[in-house]
Amino acid sequence: MRYPGQAHILTAIDCIIFGFDGNNIKLLLIQRALKPEKGKWSLMGGFIEQTETLEQAADRVLKQLTGLQGVYLEQLKAFSDPQRDPAERTISVAYFALIDIHNYEKQLSDDYHAEWFLLKDKPTLIFDHQQMVEDALQKLRYKAALHPILFELLPPKFTIPQLQSLYEGVYDSTFDNRNFSRKVLSTGLLIKQKEKDKVNSKKGAFYYKLDKKKYKASFGAFLNFIPNPNKLIL
């Protein structure tokens, strides 16, 4: 049974995957396999099937195109410009995630030439995918200014310089080293370790671990952590 007189509109899923490799924020892209724009760089995308929820479709698309499984995906928003896809009227529901690249290196499939790009060096994207990336980054910046969510993208042990690189990459900004260290330690969320990372400097930087109990109990600890958050976010 169909509703009489109603237009046929496709529903697509697009996944914006941000990754952190310990030094830089990157974006995962693939080369599009379909016309139009075949062979050009694209976000991971596909159409929702009749028996799927949006979340199930997002998981399937990501696994099919990149091999990635178990990635946390959060719904961003719907993109519905009637002209966004030149092939056919299509509404896309975008999802975004941020992952520790090293945890998924072995999962990444080569079938669709998935590749990590620095945000500042990413190629031209098809359709409205550039707007999707910008909107996802804005939402990530907003959430990270309010809550310490970016900690979940770090390895079990990390240094303050690594954490600072992560925040600077997300906000495309430079933070004062001393102020950053003082503010992040003042949250009480970090547990200092005895070992040091001596790869990047002779003096070395102490490793820290996240105090998960305090993290869960004090999820608003970074409310005033980001300097001038409105300036950086808006």
Per CATH, which fold does 147-233 belong to?
Arc Repressor Mutant, subunit A (1.10.10)
Model confidence pLDDT, tens digit, residues 74-107: 999 999 999 999 999 999 999 998 888 888 877 8
- Band of the pLDDT at 234, cuts 50, 70, 90? very low
- Token look-up 């240094």 returns 159
What are the structure tokens assigned to 166, written together? 């992560």
Percent of the chain residues topping a pLDDT of 70? 91
Look at 108 and 216; give whichever has higher pLDDT: 108
Return d(Cα 133, Cα 92) in angstroms, integer: 13
pLDDT at position 134 = 96
Q: What is the mean pLDDT of residues 47-61?
A: 95
Mean pLDDT is lowest, of 63-67, 120-124, 149-153, for 149-153
CA 74 from chain centre, in angstroms, equals 9
Q: What is the mean pLDDT of residues 115-124?
A: 93
Where along the chain do the CATH 3.90.79.10 domains lie? 10-145
Where along the chain do the CATH 1.10.10.10 domains lie? 147-233
Percent of the chain residues topping a pLDDT of 90? 53
Look at residue 223 and tell me whether its pLDDT is greater than 60: no
pLDDT at position 233 = 45
Model confidence pLDDT, tens digit, residues 149-179: 787 788 889 999 999 999 999 998 898 999 9
pLDDT at position 130 = 97
Look at residue 120 and tell me whether its pLDDT is greater than 60: yes
Mapping DSSP onto H, E and C, the string for the chain reads: CCCCCCCCCEEEEEEEEEEECCCCEEEEEEECCCCCCCCCEECEEEECCCCCCHHHHHHHHHHHHHCCCCCCCEEEEEECCCCCCCCCCEEEEEEEEEEEHHHCCCCCCCCCCCEEEEHHHCCCCCCCHHHHHHHHHHHHHHHHHHCCHHHHHCCCCEEHHHHHHHHHHHHCCCCCHHHHHHHHHHCCCEEEEEEEECCCCCCCEEEEEECHHHHHHCCCCCCCCCCCHHHHHC
Model confidence pLDDT, tens digit, residues 9-28: 999 999 999 999 888 999 99
Q: Amino acid identity, residue 29?
A: L
- Token look-up 């500042």 returns 120
136, 96 in Cβ contact below 8 A?
A: yes
Look at residue 112 and tell me whether its pLDDT is greater than 90: no
Rounded mean pLDDT of the chain? 87
Written out in words, the top-level CATH class of the domain with range 10-145 is alpha beta
How far, in Å, are 83, 115, 126 from residue 132 at the CA level?
Answer: 15, 18, 11
pLDDT at position 110 = 78
How far, in Å, are 59, 103, 126, 159 from residue 39 at the CA level?
Answer: 23, 28, 10, 39
